[in-house]
Structure 1
Amino acid sequence: MLTINVAVLLAVIVVIRLRRRTHSRSRLDEKFTVVIVLALGVLIAPTPVGRGIMDFLGRLASGVTQAGR
């Protein structure tokens, strides 16, 4: 039986959609891409990978704010 991880499927869809030319996208197409990316974020957030990304971004933001002082 073949199982497909929804997060992986959404990631593939996002990559395919973002490879398209920018000027050929309609406003509805852009909104749909944003919804897909938000759904991907919600699916990834509670996973260990999502926590690792959040930790990395937190450290990066902390370093940037300390460098700006």
Structure 2
Amino acid sequence: MVTMNVAVLLAVIVVLRLRRRTQSRTRNDEKLTVVIVLALGVLIAPTPLGQGILDVLGQLASGVTQASR
């Protein structure tokens, strides 16, 4: 339960950071956003939601691979 609460908080932070204009971001600001997104991914990955996302992305990737043949 705590993992999902932290993940929700990080998701809100990511959305707020990405809503800012691109021109106003510094290199350090972009690096911090990347670190936050990676932390969010690590928190979501072991949850059922993360496993569902992984399954959907896997199916999407295999569909694209088969369509390109």
The normalised TM-score by structure 1 is: 0.94
Aligned residue number for residue 48 of structure 1: 48
Alignment partner of 2:35: what SS? helix
Using CA pairs below 8 Å that are at least 6 residues apart, which structure has the higher relative contact order?
A: 2
Residue-pair matches, total: 67
- 1:50, distance to aligned residue in structure 2 (A): 0.1
Identity %: 81
Unaligned runs of 5+ in 1: none
- 1:22, distance to aligned residue in structure 2 (A): 0.3
Residues in 2 aligned to 1:28 and 1:35: alpha-carbon distance in whole angstroms: 11
Aligned residue number for residue 25 of structure 1: 25
Residues in 2 aligned to 1:59 and 1:5: alpha-carbon distance in whole angstroms: 28
Matches within 5 A, 1:1-69: 5-69=5-69
1:18-60 deviation digits (Å, cap 9, x = unpaired): 0000010000000000000000000000000000000000000
Residues in 2 aligned to 1:68 and 1:35: alpha-carbon distance in whole angstroms: 33
The alignment's C-alpha RMSD in Å is 1.3
Unaligned runs of 5+ in 2: none
Letter matched to residue 16 of structure 2:
I
Q: Give every structure 1 segment of 4 or more consecutive aligned residues whose post-TM-superposition deviation is greater than 2 Å.
A: none
Alignment partner of 2:20: what SS? coil
